[in-house]
Structure 1
Amino acid sequence: MIRLRWFHIHSWLALTLLLGMAPAAGAGLDVAVVVSQRTGPHAVFAQAFSRAAASLGHRVFDAGTPADGLDDVALARADLVIASGDAALSAALRLHPRPTLAVMIGQSRFDGIRREHPSWPLSAFTLDQPAERQLRLLKAVLPEARRVGVLFGPEGADRPAFERAARVSHLELAERVVGDESELMRGLEAVLRDSDGLVALPDALLATPASVRSILLTSYRHQKPIIGFSRAYVGAGALAAIFTTPEQVAGDVIAWLRTQDGGRVALPPVRGPASFEIAVNRQVARALGMSVVADEELLRLIATGDVP
């Protein structure tokens, strides 16, 4: 498997430069960080963010985890609360109504939590890659593709974006909405029969270990490639994936934080990641009898929307 880091707008180079810059104008913010877990990607995000934010003159406080308990004082005084993961977000929203930015969370999960707190000052940097970016990766690794299969979760929130992106990419969608686990196999078989490849989405229903296993095994039986949403998905058998690392999420948040003048926080609109990486499983490509273009060319094709 070959992994490539793509520095889109806010790369590690940009983050490195930020670390060397002078503090932001005006008084720094009090930023409380709540993480879902002390280990893994949430810890990586918190460490990268805290170092960079402190270098800009902001005061960053560890506000705890759902398992260990939250620091009520830190949350009450915070100008901004950053919650890493859905467990951290749910826990933080049970306390003080401070401006809250969710990170390291999928769009569908964030939307569900936000509906429970409609009046809360709340936004997110989600992990969901733009539909057009995902379809560009599909076309880059499978230039002859004409129909792409997509399974949507019960709410199908991504459907309009994928329909627009498919038109731009001159692709037809073979799509199904999966209402619950019992409908997964029927919907999966239908889209695989009627498509050249499948784009797997990080929907809460479709991204469970059991669902991922079923998707991988069934797609391989149909000899159809999968575009996944994580490095682990590629390691498990997807042809390729496009995803954002915790460090890149921290870089995106820092870039936004530099726009704040130290006064009242103006939360950004909910947005997906600016920075991303790709991973390609060349073993899977050989097993499917596919020839995938060179790594640098893949990145160029994603950036331009050209086809090989």
Structure 2
Amino acid sequence: MQSRHGRALVLLLLLATAGGALSSPAQTVHVLAEPSPFKDVFVLSLAQDLPANLRVVDEPEVADVLVALGDAAFTRAMAQGKPLLGVHVSRALSEKAVQEGYRCAAIWAGVSLANQLQLVRTMMPLARRVGVVLGADSVWPAELVRGFRGPLKLELLPVKNARDLGDTLRENLNHLDAIVLPVDDALLGPDAAKLVLLTSYRQRRPVFGPDLTFVNAGSVASYYASGSDLVSEAVQRLRVFADTGEWGASAFVSRPSVVVNEHVASSFDMHYRDSGALQDALQKAGEAP
């Protein structure tokens, strides 16, 4: 008799626990972005990867949490006053939003300076002096470059605008082993990309970064945030927020992808000349992010 009572009590406790879990509705998420194939793929992938306590909805009005892709969508979303996660958002914009008291965080556009320096060290083990180009809207603050301590000696190359870029490179490339570029749409447009890469070839100094597009155009290699990287990071951020009610600090993606321009890497006689070999080398060295 006591055994049956004990089993009944356990069953009641289990039912009560299950009932409590079922009675807690999933938090809803809406993705704001300009219409594009990338948005469609991002929303579909996000919906598939979210845990059971989170689900994507079509209307922002009924959402508990907003996800905004890009600066324009992030700016619009701030006006709605809901918890907000920016994805591929400029660092300056997200930091301004936090300072103004918005309940938000962002996955910044680009990758960390530390990631890009990993590439230089791995592909050019003998490199010592590396120039870092920075404009007014670049993702890395100048203080980060000035305060860097490590096996590479960094030289800050401030550039006011795209017109000054060519002169800055021509004046400095000869005494540097390589150049690292940040994500900066205002500074590094298509015309600037052509200028940078042509100057690099003429003076035989390799350029690293800032992203996949530049590597396809002639940069040696770059870490970059792929679409799947951004989805994975967003899922992790949303999971933590659903569990704790806190976003944590804004940051770059924690595990970016890597790409190498094989032709350019070969022309500079780089240590690694394809993306797979470079990724393996980083992982074996314990340096992969």
TM, length-normalised to structure 2: 0.81
1:185 corresponds in structure 2 to 166
**Structure-2 change in CA distance of 1:234 and 1:289 (3 Å):** same
**Structure-2 change in CA distance of 1:132 and 1:294 (3 Å):** same
Q: Matched residues in 2 for 1:273 and 1:130: separation?
A: 8
Q: Which among 203, 208, 219 is matched to residue 222 of structure 1? A: 203
2:76 corresponds in structure 1 to 91
Q: Which among 251, 266, 273 is matched to residue 271 of structure 1? A: 251
Q: Percent identity?
A: 24
What runs of 5+ residues in structure 1 fail to find an aligned partner? 1-22, 63-73
**Structure-2 change in CA distance of 1:80 and 1:265 (3 Å):** farther
1:205 corresponds in structure 2 to 186
Q: Does 1:104 align with 2:102?
A: no
User: Following TM superposition, where does structure 1 have runs of at least 4 consecutive aligned residues deviating by more than 4 angstroms?
Assistant: 23-26, 293-297
Structure of higher RCO (CA pairs closer than 8 Å, 6+ residues apart): 1
Deviation at 1:26, TM superposition (A): 4.7
What runs of 5+ residues in structure 2 fail to find an aligned partner? 1-20
Q: Matched residues in 2 for 1:259 and 1:198: separation?
A: 37
Deviation at 1:162, TM superposition (A): 3.2
TM, length-normalised to structure 1: 0.76
CA contact (8 A) 2:210 2:222 kept: yes
Per-residue CA deviation, residues 15-74 of structure 1 (Å, 9 max, x unaligned), is xxxxxxxx999531121110133223x333222112222x52423123xxxxxxxxxxx3
Q: Which among 29, 32, 56 is matched to residue 31 of structure 1? A: 29
Deviation at 1:232, TM superposition (A): 1.9
The one-letter code sitting in structure 2 at the alignment partner of 1:143 is P
1:19 corresponds in structure 2 to none
The one-letter code sitting in structure 2 at the alignment partner of 1:38 is S
2:260 corresponds in structure 1 to 280
Instruction: Return the structure number with greater helix share.
Output: 2
Deviation at 1:154, TM superposition (A): 1.7
1:15 corresponds in structure 2 to none
Per-residue CA deviation, residues 187-214 of structure 1 (Å, 9 max, x unaligned), is 2223322311111110132221122221
**Structure-2 change in CA distance of 1:301 and 1:256 (3 Å):** same
2:10 corresponds in structure 1 to none
SS state at 1:43 partner? helix
Q: Matched residues in 2 for 1:36 and 1:132: separation?
A: 31
Q: Matched residues in 2 for 1:185 and 1:305: separation?
A: 37
CA contact (8 A) 1:30 1:79 kept: yes
2:63 corresponds in structure 1 to 78
CA contact (8 A) 2:31 2:68 kept: yes
Deviation at 1:146, TM superposition (A): 0.6
**Structure-2 change in CA distance of 1:196 and 1:97 (3 Å):** same
> How well do the aligned residues superpose, as a CA RMSD in angstroms?
2.7
